[in-house]
Amino acid sequence: MSTPVGWQQHREGVARLLTSYAAIPPGDTVRLRKKTSNLFRPREQVATGLDVSGLDGVIEVDVRGRTAEVQGMCTYEHLVAATLPHGLVPYVVPQLRTITLGGAVTGLGIEATSFRLGLPHESVLAMDVLTGGGEIVTVMPGEPLFDAFPNSYGSLGYATRLRIALAPAPAYARLRHLRFSDVGVLEKAIAEVTETGEWDGEQVDAMDGVAFAPDDLVLTLAHWTDEPGDQWPSDYTGGHVFYRSLQQRETDVLTMHDYLWRWDTDWFWCSQAFGAQHPVVRAVWPRRLRRSDVYHRLLGLDQRFDISRRLDQRAGRPAAERVVQDVEVPLDRLGEFLTWFDAEVGMRPLWLCPLRVSREAAPGARPWSSYPLEAGTTYVNVGFWGTVRVGDGAEDGPTNRAIEAKVSELGGHKSLYSEAFYSPEDFDRLYNGDNLRAVKQQYDPDGRLTSLYDKAVHRR
């Protein structure tokens, strides 16, 4: 169990943050000073950025009221450690342990409960934000800064404190792995679960899936329970790999803790690139180092020293393009997207995570101003992370550009945690650039924070 830091320590952390802001020379861009990130686009390291080292904990947990006061840089690993012993968890717990609450809110986290509980920012009840002007402001749902904050990636400010609602979390997650050979039938199953909250008469609390091949699709339905039944809870932090179990088992049971972090141990399936799934390597790779942030650091070393490209050149392989993206497409266009993706990209497996925004909106209006999801529409987040061979002399990001165009054509949207290639006009149209500028002008009149376009496309 993680011990809350309390309000006094929080105030000290905020004071340290404000002192670091004041130390940044006037006119210089204001950035975070942190060494770790779950972003997959280059970010400049700074020596005189914002000191957020005192803002990485849970302030307090109100068990009776089912809320928590949380600092912006608190990781979900620490947040869950503080709430789960009380039988509570955040509404949506993103897949990777070191994603921060502030990062998930400003960068659109998602997980298997999103089909019924929306996205992480939708359970935020109030938020303190350090603005570009150097002030800490408290904002509430319905206010311009609050509503524009999701998908702003620090371009409108940084959350220092968030009050969030918590949901009950029993001891176990009982899983059913449904196999499909036709994406149309899969779409109908997702629609039924989303509409009724049930499958074969049993409540569904979480839902996601994996597309292993065009005719090999698995939808995993999770039911929260205090009774594990006649199955002993599985452990996928040892010799077994979770994603492979989806093809090997029809049912499974995990402790709630292990369910929440089921994807982190092997970074979905990406740990295979480092040999971590090989039985011999796995036997000597310490469990405590089998986690997403370790793999992310290894990937950083590969990029820093250009290891993969050098090996490709030495072996005579065509140049590769990194394709690390999450996109949302409307449920009824999922089959069309997967067919196109198989023909043009050819990367498998793919993660599938249905979602609906929980906030209502007036006809024609966005529930959240900076991201164009529509109320009442079921989307499927499709996640794919790897490389494709494009050959020497290819334009910058040809595969990623094609994906952006296809997703837009299908009425979908792309998360901005990775590389983006939009023109300024397309970016404004997709992400409500006029509103972003209006809110930014109010809270960052001197332009101390990097704009969202410069962050996402120019990678500044």
Instruction: Give tens-digit pLDDT for 373-398.
Output: 999 999 999 999 999 998 777 778 99
Assigned fold of 306-421: Alpha-Beta Plaits (3.30.70)
DSSP structure class, residue 204 = -
Whether pLDDT at 303 is above 80: no
- Contact predicate 219/180, CB 8 Å: yes
* Tokens read off for 51: 């000191």
Residue range 239-275, pLDDT digits in tens: 999 999 999 999 999 999 999 999 999 999 999 999 9
**Cβ atoms of residues 341 and 213 within 8 Å:** no
The dotted CATH code for 6-169+448-456 is 3.30.465.10
Query: pLDDT-based confidence at 2, cuts 50/70/90?
Result: confident
Q: Is 312 a residue whose pLDDT tops 70?
A: no
Report the SS3 class of residue 161.
strand
β pairing state of 88-90 and 50-51: unpaired
Query: What number is the average pLDDT over the span 315-343?
Result: 93
* 139 beta partners: 127
Q: What is the pLDDT of residue 111?
A: 98
What is the structure's pLDDT at 38? 63
- Mean per-residue pLDDT for 161-185? 98
Per-residue pLDDT reduced to its tens digit, 280-300: 999 999 999 999 999 999 988
**Would you state the structure tokens that stand for residue 191, as one six-digit string?**
């629609």
The predicted pLDDT at position 40 comes to 59
Which residue matches tokens 């089998």?
290
Encoding tokens for residue 330? Answer: 């409307």
The domain spans of the chain are 6-169+448-456, 306-421
DSSP secondary structure of 182-202: -HHHHHHHHHHHHHHSEETTE
pTM: 0.95
Determine phi and psi for 357, rounding to 5 degrees. -75, 140
403-432 CB burial, b ≥16 within 10 A, e <16: bbebbbebebbbbbbbbbbbeeebbbebbb
Is the CB of residue 109 less than 8 Å from the CB of residue 118? no
349: cis peptide before it, omega within 30°? yes
> How many whole angstroms separate alpha carbon 428 and alpha carbon 5?
40
Q: Is the pLDDT of residue 447 over 90?
A: yes
C-alpha distance from residue 126 to each of 28, 60, 272, 358, 430 (Å): 29, 14, 40, 17, 26
Average pLDDT for 131-146: 97
Say which residue the tokens 């899983």 belong to: 175
Alpha carbons 90 and 251: distance in angstroms, whole number: 25
Q: What is d(CA 162, CA 159) in angstroms, rounded to the nearest whole number?
A: 7
386: number of Cβ within 10 Å: 17
DSSP assignment of 324-337, as one string? Answer: EEEEEEEGGGHHHH
Q: Is 255 left (phi over 0), alpha (psi -120 to 50) or beta?
A: beta
Given a contact cutoff of 8 angstroms between Cβ atoms, the answer to whether 223 and 171 are in contact is no
Are 307 and 390 a contacting pair, CB within 8 Å? no
3-state helix, strand and coil shares in percent for the chain, rounded to the nearest 5: 35, 25, 40
Q: What is the mean pLDDT of the chain?
A: 93
What would the DSSP string read from start to end of 115-160?
HHH--GGGGEEEEEEE-TTS-EEEE-TTSHHHHH-TT-TTSS-EEE
Contact between residue 17 and residue 10 where contact means Cβ atoms under 8 Å apart: no
Is the CB of residue 83 less than 8 Å from the CB of residue 29? no
- Dihedral of the CA atoms 407, 410, 411, 417 (nearest 10)? -10
- Mean pLDDT on 357-364: 81
From residue 367, alpha-carbon distances to 331, 363, 376 in Å are 18, 10, 10
Tokens of 101: 């609450």
Q: What order do you get walking across the sheet with 216-225 strand by strand?
A: 251-255, 172-180, 216-225, 206-213, 350-355, 379-389, 320-330, 413-414
Cα(242)–Cα(382) distance, rounded to whole angstroms? 18
Alpha helices (H) in 73-121, listed in sequence order:
76-83, 101-107, 114-117
φ, ψ for residue 174 (rounded to 5)? -95, 125
Token pair recorded at residue 121:
């920012």
pLDDT at 47: 57
Yes or no: say if 324 and 338 are a contact pair by the CB < 8 Å rule.
no
What average pLDDT does range 431-444 have in this prediction?
A: 96
Type of residue numbered 307: I
The answer, yes or no, to whether residue 36 has pLDDT greater than 80, is no
**Bridge partners, 293 (sequence order):** none
